[in-house]
Amino acid sequence: MLKTFPIGGVHPSENKLSREARIEYFPLPDTVVLPLSQHIGAPAVPVVAKGDKVVVGQLIAKAGGFVSSNIHSSVSGTVVSVDLAMTASGLRQPAITIRREGDEWAEGIDCSSELVRECTLEPAEIIRRIADAGIVGMGGATFPTQVKLTPPPGKKADVVIINGVECEPYLTADHRVMLERGEEVLVGTSILARALGVQQCYIGIENNKPDAIAHMKELAESFPGIEIVPLRVRYPQGGEKQLIAAITGRQVPSGALPIDVGAVVQNVGTALAVYEAVQKNKPLVERVVTVTGKPLAQPANYLVRLGTPISALIDHAGGMSDDVGKVIGGGPMMGRAMSHPEAPVLKGTSGVLLMRQKESHRKQPDTCIKCAKCVSVCPMGLEPYLLSKLSKKRMYAEAEPERIVDCIECGSCSYTCPAGLPLLDYIRLGKAETLKMIRARAAKS
């Protein structure tokens, strides 16, 4: 019996259309748009101005606080503007736009594909390099990695978990990274373990990727302390708390962080970025993005420079057709529909998914019949129908003791609801309002 998390979860059709597609180097874009807020936390502060010449890997915006991240130029060329630019959500946000001229890299960056295994750096130096490189959680949460590697005083990690679960349907970026760049991921993992002073590492991979499990197991033989853990296919196994429970059996208490149970979870893509930052001195300027969907001619996995327009990716993979009803940034479960596909690829863009017209429409909402399906699939053990109703009625004070802030927004409840109710829509709103309320209370006392 394979391991998995204890409660809830669903199993949507996997639809991994691009699983066989090798990672392709995406042609360099003519212009890149790099928003200053590609991570959770304070926006970065620009250090270049309009008209400046930049090279690939040059720092263009500095972290604007402790929980923030550096941003580097992903192309060489001229800064065209430091102004508001349209993002995928249809809102304008501050961004740096660069016109590409050639492809010149900053000095000191090792662009060769040669594997550098040995790492003898001090933990503090590793964390400094990771912070300098602007690495964030690449699975989509975009939490600055250096912050996760700096546990608060008195807390210590004893296990590093690498998330190779990729439980979102359609997405295959992490799968391909493990198959094609497995050794680099393993070196990255051991660097993360070194930075935290941890001996035991696990890489959790769902059982629908047997090739990746076999490949990683073979490679991991020469990496003592790293164990590959095959997991039963179940969404949302890639959730931090679910993955910790699945692999170690430890339960992260309500309101606590993974570090409270001694675990640090990082994505496969993050481990790769950490390897490149520490061993190759290469900042985060590109990432692997899955471009997929049934209307596309060639679903693919691209290694893309950050800031490349998403529409260019779609065009390269076969282009838009009349049948496209929705373009989603990320996977179908947690991704967000985009109103502006001309928006750029960000640090957290793990995939671009095109949905057919008929698949893309939601069901007309009906009345809740209290079947409690949402309760049985909630991986956090919450009561989604209740939280949704309380949020809709703006009863946030009542929703707080029902642990609304524990919701991980995985969408299993909305997915499973036979009445087609937009449960998560309201819960997400209620969660945000409740958090505001809690923060206001904390500020008062």
Partner 1 sequence: MGVFAYTILTLSLLGVLLAAILYFVASKFRVWEDPRIDDVEKMLPGANCGGCGYAGCRAMAEALVREDDISTLYCPVGGGECMKQIADFLGKAAPEREPMVAVVRCGGSCEKRPRTNTFDGARSCAVSASLYGGETGCSYGCLGFGDCVNVCEFGAIRINPETGLAEVDEEKCTACGACVKACPKGVIELRKKGPKGRRVYVSCVNKDKGAVARKSCEAACIACTKCVKACPFEAITIENNVSYIDFTKCRLCRKCVAECPTGAIVDVNFPPRKPVEAAASATPSATPGKVENPTSVAEAPAQTAPEVKPETKK
Considering the complex, what minimum distance in angstroms separates the CB of residue 328 from partner 1? 6
For the beta carbon of residue 231, count every other beta carbon within 10 angstroms: 25
- Residue of 214, 257, 320, 408 that binds partner 1 (CB under 8 A): 320
Q: Is 425 in the site for partner 1 (CB under 8 A)?
A: yes
Considering the complex, what minimum distance in angstroms separates the CB of residue 392 from partner 1? 8
> How is residue 282 written in tokens?
């290469």
Considering the complex, what minimum distance in angstroms separates the CB of residue 442 from partner 1? 22
CA 133 to chain centre: 17
Transcribe 300-347 into DSSP letters.
EEEEEETT-BHHHHHHHTT---TTEEEEEES-TTT-EE-S-TTSBP-T
Q: Is 415 in the site for partner 1 (CB under 8 A)?
A: yes
Sorted by sequence, the CB contacts under 8 Å of residue 190 that are 6+ apart come out as 119, 201, 223, 225, 226
Q: Is 411 in the site for partner 1 (CB under 8 A)?
A: yes
Considering the complex, what minimum distance in angstroms separates the CB of residue 420 from partner 1? 10
Sorted by sequence, the CB contacts under 8 Å of residue 297 that are 6+ apart come out as 317, 318, 319
Query: Is 255 within 8 Å of 406 (Cβ atoms)?
Result: yes
Q: Is 339 in the site for partner 1 (CB under 8 A)?
A: yes
Toward partner 1, which CB reaches closer, 92 or 441?
Answer: 92
Considering the complex, what minimum distance in angstroms separates the CB of residue 332 from partner 1? 5
Toward partner 1, which CB reaches closer, 257 or 337?
Answer: 337
Considering the complex, what minimum distance in angstroms separates the CB of residue 18 from partner 1? 15
Toward partner 1, which CB reaches closer, 58 or 290?
Answer: 290
Separation of alpha carbons 276 and 243, rounded Å: 25
Q: List the interface residues with partner 1, window 237-296 (CB under 8 A).
A: none
Toward partner 1, which CB reaches closer, 275 or 385?
Answer: 385
Considering the complex, what minimum distance in angstroms separates the CB of residue 356 from partner 1? 9
> How is residue 188 written in tokens?
């990255």
**Crossing angle between the packed helical segments 123-132 and 268-279, to the nearest 10 degrees:** 100
Considering the complex, what minimum distance in angstroms separates the CB of residue 39 from partner 1? 19
Start-end of H helices in 197-328: 210-220, 240-248, 268-279, 310-316
Q: Is 341 in the site for partner 1 (CB under 8 A)?
A: yes
For the beta carbon of residue 313, count every other beta carbon within 10 angstroms: 22
Considering the complex, what minimum distance in angstroms separates the CB of residue 251 from partner 1? 25
82 pairs with which residues across the strands?
Answer: 96
Q: Is 64 in the site for partner 1 (CB under 8 A)?
A: no
Q: How many residues bind partner 1 (CB under 8 A)?
A: 46
Return the ∠ at Cα 283 (arms to 278 and 284), rounded to 5°. Answer: 115
- Intra-chain end-to-end CA distance of the chain, in Å: 50
CA 337 to chain centre: 16
Toward partner 1, which CB reaches closer, 28 or 429?
Answer: 429
- Residue of 64, 123, 262, 422 that binds partner 1 (CB under 8 A): 422
Closest CA relative to residue 39, chosen from 244, 291, 265, 306: 306
Separation of alpha carbons 20 and 387, rounded Å: 41
Q: List the interface residues with partner 1, window 157-216 (CB under 8 A).
A: 169
Q: Is 355 in the site for partner 1 (CB under 8 A)?
A: yes
Closest CA relative to residue 409, chosen from 161, 391, 393: 391
Identify which range of 144-152, 173-181, 202-210, 414-422 contacts partner 1 by CB under 8 A.
414-422
Separation of alpha carbons 167 and 264, rounded Å: 19
Identify which range of 35-43, 145-153, 236-244, 318-326 contacts partner 1 by CB under 8 A.
318-326
List the x/- string, 80-119, binding to partner 1 by CB under 8 A.
Answer: ---------xxxx---------------------------
Separation of alpha carbons 200 and 189, rounded Å: 10
Considering the complex, what minimum distance in angstroms separates the CB of residue 42 from partner 1? 20
Q: Is 387 in the site for partner 1 (CB under 8 A)?
A: no
Q: Is 361 in the site for partner 1 (CB under 8 A)?
A: yes
- Residue of 114, 118, 221, 322 that binds partner 1 (CB under 8 A): 322
Closest CA relative to residue 411, chosen from 371, 360, 374: 374
- Residue of 119, 368, 429, 435 that binds partner 1 (CB under 8 A): 429
421 DSSP 8-state letter: -
- The amino acid that residue 354 corresponds to is L
Considering the complex, what minimum distance in angstroms separates the CB of residue 91 from partner 1? 5
95 pairs with which residues across the strands?
Answer: 35, 83
User: Could you list the residues that contact partner 1 (CB under 8 A)?
Assistant: 12-13, 15, 89-92, 169, 320-322, 324-328, 332-341, 355, 357-362, 365, 392, 409, 411, 414-415, 422, 424-426, 428-429, 432
